[in-house]
Chains A and B, each alone.
Chain A
Amino acid sequence: LAKTTQPISMDSYEGQEVNITCSHNNIATNDYITWYQQFPSQGPRFIIQGYKTKVTNEVASLFIPADRKSSTLSLPRVSLSDTAVYYCLVGGSSGGYNKLIFGAGTRLAVHP
Chain B
Amino acid sequence: AAGVIQSPRHLIKEKRETATLKCYPIPRHDTVYWYQQGPGQDPQFLISFYEKMQSDKGSIPDRFSAQQFSDYHSELNMSSLELGDSALYFCASSGDGQETQYFGPGTRLLVL
Number of interface residues of A (CB under 8 A): 23
Tell whether B81 is near chain A: CB-to-CB under 8 Å.
no
- At the interface, is chain A mostly helix, strand, loop or mixed? loop
A43 with B92: CB separation less than 8 A? yes
Bound CA–CA A43/B94 (angstroms): 15
- At the interface, is chain B mostly helix, strand, loop or mixed? strand
Chain B residues contacting A45 (CB-CB under 8 Å) are: 103
Chain A residues contacting B64 (CB-CB under 8 Å) are: none
A103 with B42: CB separation less than 8 A? yes
25 contacts between A and B (CB under 8 A): A34-B100, A36-B103, A41-B88, A42-B106, A43-B103, A43-B104, A43-B105, A43-B106, A44-B43, A44-B92, A45-B103, A46-B100, A46-B103, A92-B99, A97-B50, A97-B55, A97-B56, A99-B56, A99-B58, A100-B33, A100-B43, A101-B45, A102-B43, A102-B44, A104-B42
B-side residues, CB < 8 A to A, are 4, 31, 33, 35, 42-45, 48, 50, 55-56, 58, 88, 90, 92, 94, 99-106, 108
A-side residues, CB < 8 A to B, are 34, 36, 41-46, 49, 87, 92, 94-105
